[in-house]
Structure 1
Amino acid sequence: MNTSIIDPLQGDFPEVIEEYLEHGVMKCIAFNRRGTLLAVSFLFLHPNSAEPPPCRSGGIAKELRDNDCSSPITSICWSKCGNRILVSAADKSLSLWDVSSGKRITRIVLQQTPLQARLHPGSSKPSLCLACPLSCTPMIVDLNTEDTTYLQVSVSEKPTEPNPASRNKCSDGSTSFTPTAACFSKYGNLVYVGNSKGEILVIDSKDGEVRAMVPISGGSVVKNIVFSRNGQYLLTNSNDRVIRIYENLLPPKDEIGALNEMNESLSDLNGVERLKALGSKCLTLFREFQDAITKVHWKAPCFSGDGEWVVGGSASKGEHKIYIWDRAGHLVKILEGPKEALIDLAWHPVRPIVVSVSLNGIVYIWAKDYTENWSAFAPDFKELEENEEYVEREDEFDLVPESEKVKGSNVNEDEEIDIVTVEKDPAFSDSDMSQEELCFLPASPCRDVLEQQYKFLESSSKLMDSNNSESTFSEETGANGHTMNHASSPVEDDAVGTRIKRKRKPSEKVLELQAEKVKKPSKSSKSSKTKSKSLFDESNGNGFYYDELSDE
């Protein structure tokens, strides 16, 4: 939003449900980088232009269908430039699609069901992705070669391929299925993994080596781990019902180099102690968010586009609640929706808009409830609580007021004005791929189905049969019984190949003449009336006659 016209007393966060989208059963959502396209359960929605908030029109820009997949979609991820999209499904498949053409690039099948899959953020056309399966370690998958690199989830354990016999077992002997959360850093140099022991592992994405470890207070299972848009903050959602925000201390573009320098300075430490010391220099705890009264679990927490707000959905059944905190840790708003459980949540990259998905498959769009503030548009505008008598200045309506004659012009009229250079949006200042970025999808008209064409032909033929006698009579006679000109009103139907006559609506001048002749009937009008009746009698009641001169 334009921060210069926002009321400082109102927060820049959504407040009410502005719109809802309903198209089948939707399960997961994802905005592209600019926020102009929204992928919803493999459906693309786009607005009319770039200025209004997205999804205002709710029109489907493209629909992609995978004939090889009939299972539910578990996650959707856009590439950085929006040209590709990665979809993970419950049938253990990963599918990479080209958004413009609507064609599938590749499809591979894993050994486990991927709950979440993310493309590498450092490339415009990435082939690497990070997949988090249901019951095994996270993996980096090369979609071109299908090579898989398994990542460590614990310092004491080495990464191994999934094996049903090697699953974790609880104290009572039952098998536990604990999914592991993981995400790329801003440029994809590192992978941050949250495990079931309440630890954050910092792993090199190229060789899979654990470079640092950050223990989480409480030691609870990490369910979600998300980076902010600028890469400055890291969010974790643990099983102890606490959302934690960590500040990233590493430089975004040279994370590996900074870790190597710190590693050399800690040569006197070994093993886990060194990893913990490096972790303290990578991440530091910034804030903690929780509901101390209800102690609810959180669903799909994330940052706002500018990182100023933190949002999380309630995981309680039967309620659609969204909690919004500022980065200082204060709860500023609770959005209450319909009595439907919330399953997914996303904040628009650049606008105060939140999109949530309910258990029934309906997408709700939350937007800000704006109040008019006219003083923000004119600096000399004054808002009045009640009417006041206005006293004008003596020179107010002069062509050149006296007050302006005294003031000198501060504008340099000889200075050249640059109208060519385009200032970059600070929200996308790090992008060097703006020329390749896909922001909108062109509208492509679709051909009519053959069944609709057959229905049109049948309806046209019925119309021709019903108007056959009427059209024949109107072709032969005019208002006064004379022959009508065929070039004045015929409409040719190409689909049937016949001529259907339609009477033309009289103009305003003709209606005025009719009104005058009705008031003053003449002999000619009486004779024409008689003639018209005789013509109708001769037609045996099968004709249609429209007399422009008589009032009957």
Structure 2
Amino acid sequence: MNAPIIDPLQGDFPEVIEEYLEHGNMKCIAFNRRGTLLAAGCADGSCVIWDFETKGVAKELHDKDCVAPITSVCWSKYGHQLLASATDKSLTLWNVLNGEKVARITLQQTTLHARLHPGSSTPSLCLACPLSSAPILVDLNTGSSTVLPVSVSDPSNGGPAPHPRNKFSDGSPPFTPTAATFNKRGDLIYVGNSKGEILIVDSKSIQVLAMVPISGGAVVKDIIFSRNGQYLLTNSNDRVIRVYENLLPPKDAAKELEALNNNNNNNDYKGAMKLKVTGSKCLLLFREFQDAVTKIQWKAPCFSGDGEWIVGASANKGEHKLYIWDRAGHLVKILEGPKEALIDLAWHPVHPVIVSVSVAGLVYIWAKDHIENWSAFAPDFKELEENEEYVEREDEFDLNPDPEPVKELDIDQDEEVDILAVEKDTAFSDSDASQEELIFLPAIPSPDEPEQQDKCIGSSSKLEDSNHSDSPFSVDAVQNPAMPTASSPLEVVDNSAAEEAAAATNMKRKRKPSVKGLELQAEKGRKPIATKAKPSGKSSKAKNKNGDGSALEIEDDVTDDNL
């Protein structure tokens, strides 16, 4: 994207559906770090990887052990691995380049969201958020799992047990799906629970280090970090999207948080109050986003690649509607798509492009509706809404006898130009481009499916049998190259009709001998003799050679009845 050419008044966000992708029934999507590849999980348990530049399928990942719908997909930091969770309680780690399974484990609960550890190029740890249990930290190599705390009053943390009245019939405490995510480096885990609290947990010691209460105390459904880790977004059941500013440093955030807990000012507080005081120094409420008129629920909210925009989808059934706000809290655009419910969306890491998934399994690509602005290339260019008659000045094209001397540019001809160094992209300010990063996949041409070939062969054979004489593959067509070949069944019918008309015309033009002539030919052994019939309006002459080589002239009156 050439940023200087873009009109800043138009806004750097998508506006219209540019195209859509179709491959099976897709359920969830995720971009790789550079936005060059798009992974989608399908309802048949497979994962398809699109080359986002060419909009072509680059790889298909099939697992014969998994035929259940995919619930989430997640890329590793450098794009070599892809994690997929399915409704059959499985977690599958794929090697993207060769399409082989690296690991596969089965949990006790269905995983709604799964995230790989962002601090390693080949991560073995992942964070899984099951449907009806607390988030789990899973080691994909060993299969071991650790349950994360979801409340400071959890009995595992020394708090009181839940009231027996709030238990299910089997004696287990009630639970709602809990959202959780890693921070940018992966040393902290942010957990949003059903009590309207954000718990900050150390990923190594699995201890709650801080707690941030959310106003309203509603259930937290989504919790997402911006790309640079500076902002945190939460989506709650009270129909409000909240954005918090992260006050912790991007590096060594866990050490900084431990230092805050060991601060002398915090020693006066104990238990939950101490965690709240520490949490106030970790997250600061920045903005709240909601639709004050309709009070709709939000689905799949996320940040733009640069963190300047926030997008949220309407959770209402039967509508594909996206709301876009700027970071200041202003609603700048409402995008309306087809009458299909939205189930997932993602913003491109670099470009102003949004990709959304409908309940029908299609992936829609929302892009910017660019308006031509020629003044961006030529500042003196003036755009006209309609043609105007131009009257030139008298001296407009006169030669100037004393033109101003052109100033010579001060260019150092001996200066070496560096053509190997790559400028740092601000969108990837966290680290330089890694040579080990998987950005593109090699294109492998796929042959035609045998079923389609059989159908084509079968249809052509039927065509030859049913209309052999008129078929473009018949012997007559081969012997007569001047006859045009048919490219469709409709043309075959047209060609046959044309041939029948031509044959009828040729029959009309053929001369029919008289009855008298036929009798004489039969008597004399097919020796033509001169015959004369009643004169009529039309006559014709024909010459033929007799058996002895002499030419005999035959006059035959052809009447209209003989034709």
Shared fold per TM-score greater than 0.5 = yes
Encode CA deviations 1:414-455: one digit per residue, 9 max, x unaligned.
333222211121111323562111111111123455566677
* 1:267 CA displacement: 2.5
Is 1:200 paired with 2:201? Answer: no
Separation in 2, partners of 1:372, 1:384: 13
Cα 1:239–1:167 change in 2 (3 A) is: farther
State the match for 2:139 in structure 1: 142
Partner of 1:415: 415
CA offsets 1:95-122 (integer angstroms, 9 cap, x no match): 0001111111111000111110000011
Query: Max radius of gyration: which structure?
Result: 2
> In the alignment, what sits opposite 2:68?
71
User: 1:28·1:344 contact (CA, 8 Å) conserved in 2?
Assistant: yes
RMSD: 3.0
Asked if the contact 1:98–1:105 (Cα under 8 Å) also holds between the matched residues in 2, the reply is yes
Q: Answer whether contact 2:49 2:60 (CA < 8 A) is retained.
A: no
Show the counterpart of 2:258. Answer: 260
**Gapped regions of structure 1 (runs ≥ 5):** 48-53, 161-165, 475-552
- Once residues 268 and 354 of structure 2 are traced to their aligned partners in structure 1, the CA distance between those partners, rounded to angstroms, is 49
The aligned amino acid for 1:183 is: T
The question of whether the paired residues in 1 share the 8 Å contact of 2:112 and 2:129 is answered with yes
Q: 1:390 to 1:303 in 2, by over 3 A?
A: farther
The amino acid that maps onto 1:244 is: R
Q: Which residue of 2 aligns with 1:346?
A: 346
Task: Please give the secondary structure, in 2, of the residue aligned with 1:281.
Answer: coil
**Partner residue, 2:5:** 5
Aligned partners of 1:246 and 1:140: how far apart in 2?
24
For residues 476-513 of structure 1, what are the alpha-carbon distances to aligned partners after superposition, in whole Å with 9 as ceiling and x for unaligned? xxxxxxxxxxxxxxxxxxxxxxxxxxxxxxxxxxxxxx
User: Deviations for 1:159-198, whole angstroms, at most 9, x for unmatched residues?
Assistant: 59xxxxx999759989855100000000101000000000
Whether the aligned pair in 1 keeps the contact of 2:345 and 2:356 (CA below 8 Å) is: yes
TM-score by length of 1: 0.77
Q: Secondary structure at the match of 1:261?
A: helix
Q: Is the 8 A contact 1:234 1:248 kept in 2?
A: yes
Q: Partner of 1:100 in structure 2?
A: 97
Asked if structure 1 preserves the Cα contact closer than 8 Å seen for 2:168 and 2:174, the reply is no
Partner amino acid for 2:411?
A: V
**Which of 173, 180, 186 is 2:184 aligned to?**
186
The match for 2:118 among 118, 121, 127 is: 121
Counterpart-to-counterpart distance in 1, 2:478 and 2:292: 80
Among 243, 247, 250, the alignment partner of 2:248 is 250
Q: Which residue of 2 aligns with 1:269?
A: 269
Residue number in structure 1 paired with 2:17: 17
Q: Where in structure 2 are the equivalents of 1:474-513 lying within 5 Å?
A: none
Q: 1:393 to 1:425 in 2, by over 3 A?
A: farther
Cα pair 1:112 1:136 within 8 Å, conserved? yes
How far is 1:393 from its partner? 7.9
CA contact 1:320–1:338 (8 Å) conserved in 2: yes
Gaps of 5+ in 2: 482-563
* Matched-pair contact (CA < 8 Å) for 1:153–1:159: no
Greater Cα shift, 213-222 or 442-451: 442-451
Q: How does 1:302-321 map to 2 (within 5 A)?
A: 302-321=302-321
| CA distance 1:168–1:58, change in 2 (3 Å) | farther
Match of 1:366 in 2: 366
1:470 Cα deviation from its structure 2 partner? 6.9
Q: Equivalents in 2 of 1:300, 1:449: separation in Å?
A: 37
Identity among equivalent positions (%) equals 65
Question: What pairs with 1:32-51 in structure 2 (closer than 5 Å)?
Answer: 32-41=32-41, 42-47=46-51
Contact 2:311 2:325 in 1 (8 A): yes
Contact 1:168–1:176 (CA under 8 A) maintained in structure 2? no
SS in 2 for 1:295: coil
CA apart distance, 1:294: 0.4
Shift of 1:147: 1.2
Answer yes or no: is the 8 Å Cα contact 1:22–1:361 preserved in 2. yes
Given the superposition, is the C-alpha separation of residues 269 and 424 from structure 1 closer, same or farther in structure 2, using an over 3 Å criterion? same
Contact 2:424 2:432 in 1 (8 A): no
